[in-house]
Amino acid sequence: MSTPDTSSTSLVLNRRLLAALLSLTLASCGGEEWDEGMGGESLEPARSGGALTQSITVLSPNGGESLRSNSFGTARWSASGVTAVKVELTVDGSTWRTVVASADAASGSYSWGVPVIATNVAKVRVSDASNSAISDTSNAAFTLTTSGGGGTFDGVLINEVLVNEAGTDVTREFVEVVNPKTTAQDISGWTLWDAAGPRHTFPSGTSLGAGRGVVVFGAASGIPAGLTNAVAASTGSLNLSNGSETVTLKGPTGNVIDSVYLDSALSATDGVSATRSPDGTSHASFVVHTSVASTLASPGKRANGTSY
């Protein structure tokens, strides 16, 4: 009488045991459940209706908060099955403006510069960057205030931005960064971002002197003749939107140094920049350049034409 071959049965049982252990371990860590597959031949994430479960939940601001202009706002969320998220803001309850086009979903947060707008109907929306159907919005409205000054920007800052270049010469787009402090600041490895991604990295050994400014242009050909405190975007373009835009300055570890949201009203005229008023003041609002000077813009200089 022959002895039954139990090796295949043991293999299936062992694989099923492994699947059960994996499921219990992942579940205890907040992970996905796993299926063992038919006959134990494969292990894969559990699916709902044949597809991986994907979800996003806005955590804050989620209704009732009050944020102050020219300070940092932080959007926070939880996400499952999503790699990158798009963060948007509405200040009128209907028109959505991009804060960042693609942020790491796993980070769970993104800091942004609160715009200089007073409203009590603001909301944020966080969606899958590749599938807008997967999204969540603040449960209720929150408030943006322009009173009381405030803000958290006390160091190097974004001082002037030209997002709507004259004509179609995008090389003349620029972002002016100013150090209002009384000591020099090493900005090696710092980066400039628009809402879509990084546009410039300051090289190693870059120092911004006390009370000095540096201007990043879309390309070297866009730098005005004689302007010495200017560089070309390391990526070859700033790619700034002619409408509303978010510009962010980050430190070498990705920490936000300054972030400003520029409403479309600040870029309505070709070749006219948006500038802080007064110049180099951390809590100052952005205004149309022609409202404080007779010139359209003043890259590398103060609005009154004097040098940094």
Assign residue 275 the CATH number of its domain. 2.60.40.1260
263 and 224 part of one domain: yes
- From the number of C-beta atoms within 10 Å of its C-beta (0-12, 13-18, 19+), residue 195 rates as buried
Place 53 in a pLDDT band, splitting at 50, 70 and 90: confident
From CA 60, how far away is CA 176, in angstroms rounded?
31
From CA 32, how far away is CA 28, in angstroms rounded?
10
Place 135 in a pLDDT band, splitting at 50, 70 and 90: very high
SS3 string of 74-127? EEEEEEECCCEEEEEEECCCCCEEEEEEEEEHHHCEEEEECCCCCEEEEEEEEE
162 and 140 part of one domain: no
Identify the domain containing residue 184 by its residue range: 157-291
Residue with tokens 């609160």: 114
Indicate the range of 14-18, 201-205, 233-237 predicted with least confidence.
14-18
- pLDDT score at 292: 94
Residue 277 confidence (pLDDT) above 50: yes
* 90, part of any domain: yes
Q: What's the mean pLDDT in 169-185? A: 94
